[in-house]
Amino acid sequence: MLKFNYKLTVKERIKAKCPRHTRYNPERDGRGGIIGACTACYSLYDLLEARNKLDAAVREFVRRAGPWAVAREPRKKKPQPSAEPTALQPEEGRALTDVTNTRDGLPLAQLKNDRRMV
């Protein structure tokens, strides 16, 4: 029995050209279009080859896995929390502002005065 999950995501945006042979295009010119033994041009060509091999490997994998793939059931959504907690949040905010008012304003001073009096 063979059983595994497989997830592949590759995202690369390539924009490259040889600084010496700016017109070299590995897709159009191929390996034979490389002038001299330019490493940058070879690098571009190898990159294109790697991409083509990867595409072919993914296609082959999907083709072979297709008949055996198990259809996924959609995830069950969690039940929505009740509206009560969200309704309480604005009151908590109001309570916080009340606390800051007592620090800076009159109510705190009144509290100190009350303590002295006791």
The residues that touch Zn ion, with contacts defined as CB under 5 A, are 18, 20-21, 38, 40-41
Cβ-in-10-Å burial (0-12, 13-18, 19+) of 29 comes to middle
**Do residues 4 and 14 lie in contact, with contact meaning Cβ atoms separated by under 8 Å?**
no
* Shortest separation between residue 20's beta carbon and Zn ion, angstroms: 5
* Shortest separation between residue 78's beta carbon and Zn ion, angstroms: 56
Decide whether 20 or 64 has the Cβ nearer to Zn ion. 20
Decide whether 28 or 116 has the Cβ nearer to Zn ion. 28
Q: What is the C-alpha separation between 98 and 53, in angstroms, rounded?
A: 66
Decide whether 16 or 57 has the Cβ nearer to Zn ion. 16
SS3 per residue for 5-71: CCCCCCCCCCCCCCCCCCCCCHHHHCHHHCCCCCHHHHHHHHHHHHHHHHHHHHHHHHHHHHHHCCC
* Shortest separation between residue 36's beta carbon and Zn ion, angstroms: 8
Decide whether 21 or 51 has the Cβ nearer to Zn ion. 21
* Shortest separation between residue 57's beta carbon and Zn ion, angstroms: 28
